[in-house]
């Protein structure tokens, strides 16, 4: 393999730049030319492809976002769009790909390889930490610390005014951000998509705490919880407990931004190296990840379709520590 491409796709995550840097420098270390594909599959279709060298990735390891930009592409979901993307790769003599992203990115890469034979190794770049085949994804640690910093500040005002704050964190299909934020932030309740918890249970928990003379509360809600978002849940609780002074805070997209943590920089660098060396060793349709501190390669099919379960022990910790 003489020439590879690297791209970022889907939602951005802190540490993506560190991974790009590792991919570029590992490729050069092995004597391979590397090209950056701008704006994910959309840029691949349009031929937005640029040569990268060691200078291209200097001074980016500490930067959030992605220098290659990211975009979603409806056109790549069509056979015609994938054909155009393949033609662009052929024109640039690109023989393999490193895809930094999540489920949607890997689904597209798997389909692309099946149709056109372009080998791809994935790097798990998503703050949600919901990909099977790795203990942690690039950007997750930073996102949790960003959310927790905001939650600490919210806790101060909740305590000052004897209020209940319903804090919504990201996690459309995953409670991986919400749970450590609940434990680290001293929350009374956490609501996540993976585990159904009724509004009645939430109300009962809050009423019991009020009887113990507790006056301020912190409820962490993953945005994809079955009962609804933080605003919906807060309104239902206020209907049941009118005397409760409740506020809602949606932390939002600040969780995606900012300089990556040391843990994310290290993880991104490990996985970037592993992705390139996976291609060099003939791997295809796999994601590089770290499980039990060991490098593993998981087939895209498993990464996409197998469920990464939440740690029930952590859920029990929230219950115990809220007493």
Burial 147-185 (b: 16+ CB within 10 A, else e): bbebbeebbeebeeeebbbbbbbbbeebbbbbbbbbbeb
Binding-site residue positions for substrate: 126-128, 163, 170-172, 223, 247, 253-256
Binding-site residue positions for Mg(2+): 103
Work out the widest C-alpha separation in the chain, in whole angstroms.
Answer: 71
Dist. CA 288–CA 20, nearest whole Å: 14
Closest CA to 177 of 156, 192, 198: 192
Question: 296 with 44: CB under 8 angstroms?
Answer: no
The CA distances from residue 78 to 6, 60, 158, 177, in Å, are 21, 34, 50, 33
Closest CA to 151 of 73, 41, 228, 230: 230
Give first-to-last CA distance, the chain, whole Å.
59
Binding-site residue positions: 11, 21-25, 72-73, 102-105, 126-128, 155, 163, 170-172, 186-188, 212, 214-216, 223, 247, 253-256
Q: Catalytic residue among 12, 53, 87, 128, which?
A: 128
Binding-site residue positions for ATP: 11, 72-73, 102-105
Q: Strands 3-8, 294-299: parallel, antiparallel or unpaired by DSSP?
A: unpaired
Q: Catalytic site residue 128?
A: yes
3-state secondary structure of 193: coil
Question: 102 with 127: CB under 8 angstroms?
Answer: no
Binding-site residue positions for ADP: 21-25, 155, 186-188, 212, 214-216
Question: Which residues form the catalytic set?
Answer: 128
């Amino acid at each position: 393999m003489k020439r590879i491409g690297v791209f970022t796709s889907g939602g951005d995550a802190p540490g993506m730049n560190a991974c790009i840097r590792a991919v570029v420098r590992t490729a050069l270390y092995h004597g391979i030319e590397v090209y950056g594909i701008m704006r994910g599959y959309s840029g691949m279709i349009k031929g937005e492809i640029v040569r990268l060298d060691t200078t291209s990735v200097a001074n980016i390891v500490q930067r959030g976002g992605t220098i290659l930009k990211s975009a979603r592409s409806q056109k790549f979901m069509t056979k015609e769009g994938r054909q155009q993307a393949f033609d662009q790769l052929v024109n640039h003599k690109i023989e393999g790909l490193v895809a930094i992203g999540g489920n949607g990115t890997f689904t597209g890469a798997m389909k692309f390889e099946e149709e056109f034979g372009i080998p791809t190794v994935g790097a798990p770049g998503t703050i949600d930490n919901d990909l099977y085949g790795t203990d942690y994804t690039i950007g997750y640690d930073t996102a949790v610390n960003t959310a927790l910093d905001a939650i600490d500040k919210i806790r101060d005002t909740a305590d000052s005014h004897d209020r209940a704050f319903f804090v919504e964190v990201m996690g459309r299909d995953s409670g991986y951000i919400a749970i450590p934020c609940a434990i680290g932030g001293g929350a009374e309740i956490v609501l996540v998509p993976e585990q159904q918890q009724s509004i009645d249970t939430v109300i009962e928990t809050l009423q019991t705490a009020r009887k113990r003379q507790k006056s301020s509360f912190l409820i962490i809600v993953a945005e994809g919880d079955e009962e609804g978002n933080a605003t919906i849940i807060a309104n239902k609780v206020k209907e049941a407990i009118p005397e409760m002074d409740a506020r809602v805070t949606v932390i939002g997209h600040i969780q995606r931004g900012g300089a990556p943590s040391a843990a994310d920089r290290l993880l991104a660098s490990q996985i970037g190296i592993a992705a390139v060396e996976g291609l060099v060793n003939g791997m295809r349709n796999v994601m590089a990840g770290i499980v039990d501190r060991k490098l593993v390669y998981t087939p895209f099919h498993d990464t996409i379709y197998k469920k990464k379960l939440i740690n029930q022990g952590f859920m029990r910790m929230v219950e115990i520590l809220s007493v």
